[in-house]
């Protein structure tokens, strides 16, 4: 396994941060400083040290976070925008988002230091359903909803086929839809809605598999329970974690 991947697998840093640390000379392998992130190591046999301390796997952390609108999922922002990490200061551990929610969207976001778990949830092959509540800019007719259900080609040639689309309600001059996806293309819900001639005014991810935002306030997070982890495993089509 490469040295940068070892740090990531141990739950200590993202691949990007791991490569930065290695190039800065902070890693030793069997007593020798290694600056090549692609250096091949044997984690169970080699003595690998970070800043003088021998590496050991970090405690696995699985967080459910209610992301507010206007907050980005990147680690740091050169323009000073608020990120999800501004809400995690007390955690004191490295975690990374599982997939993303764009700045203008809110709702359920998972964060973890377990890269295999993150891959399982985010991969289209696992088919873990992600459910979104969507407010449109006007009323949507049944014909447009049928087009969404059937799947459509979006801009840049991507094809989107949701698991399901249903009308939640028409409130005043706006329609509210529930959209369920099992893939995670960039801004997929917004692009699907635009492909049938409408715009999204509000987008909230309300569920990932069996996980919901119940009893969680905006901007707050909690750790997942073992029973929730087991239920999440069962809802996927693969068992890679």
**pLDDT of res. 3:** 93
**Token representation of residue 74:** 């990147």
pLDDT tier, 199 (very low <50, low <70, confident <90, very high otherwise): very high
The H helix count followed by the E strand count for the chain is: 6, 15
Strands 221-223 and 159-160: unpaired
pLDDT tens per residue across span 65-110 = 999 999 998 776 778 789 998 998 777 778 889 988 999 999 999 9
pTM over 0.95: no
Rounded to whole angstroms, how far apart are CA atoms 151 and 197? 14
E strand map for the chain: 27-29, 32-33, 48-50, 53-54, 62-67, 96-97, 106-112, 130-136, 152-153, 159-160, 164-171, 174-181, 200-208, 211-212, 221-223
For the question of residue 102 being annotated catalytic, the response is yes
**What is the 3-class SS of 89-150, one letter each residue?**
CCCCCCCEECCCCCCCCEEEEEEECCHHHHHHHHCHHHCCCEEEEEEECCCCCHHHHHHHHH
pLDDT tens per residue across span 124-135 = 889 999 999 999
Which position among 102, 114, 119, 158 bears the catalytic label?
Answer: 102
SS3 15: helix
* Domains of the chain from N-terminus onward: 3-54 (3.10.290.10), 62-126+210-235 (3.30.70.580), 130-208 (3.30.2350.10)
């Amino acid at each position: 396994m490469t040295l940068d991947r070892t740090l990531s697998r141990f739950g200590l840093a993202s691949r990007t941060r791991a490569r930065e640390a290695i190039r800065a000379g902070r890693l030793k392998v069997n007593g020798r400083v290694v600056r090549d992130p692609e250096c091949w190591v044997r984690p169970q046999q080699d003595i690998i040290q970070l800043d003088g301390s021998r590496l050991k796997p970090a405690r696995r952390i699985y967080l459910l976070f209610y992301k507010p609108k206007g907050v980005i999922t990147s680690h740091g922002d050169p323009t000073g925008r608020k990120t999800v990490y501004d809400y995690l200061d007390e955690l004191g551990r490295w975690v990374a988002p599982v997939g993303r929610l764009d700045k203008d969207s809110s709702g359920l976001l998972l964060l973890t230091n377990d890269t295999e778990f993150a891959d399982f949830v985010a991969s289209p092959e696992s088919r873990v359903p992600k459910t979104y509540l969507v407010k449109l800019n006007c009323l949507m007719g049944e014909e447009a909803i049928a087009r969404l259900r059937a799947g459509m080609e979006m801009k840049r040639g991507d094809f989107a086929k949701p698991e399901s689309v249903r009308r939640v309600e028409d409130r005043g001059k706006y329609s509210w839809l529930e959209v369920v996806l099992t893939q995670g293309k960039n801004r997929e819900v917004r692009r699907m809605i635009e492909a049938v001639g409408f715009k999204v005014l509000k987008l909230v991810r309300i569920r990932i598999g069996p996980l919901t935002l119940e009893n969680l306030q905006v901007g707050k997070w909690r750790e997942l329970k073992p029973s929730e982890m087991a239920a999440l495993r069962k809802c996927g089509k693969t068992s890679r974690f």
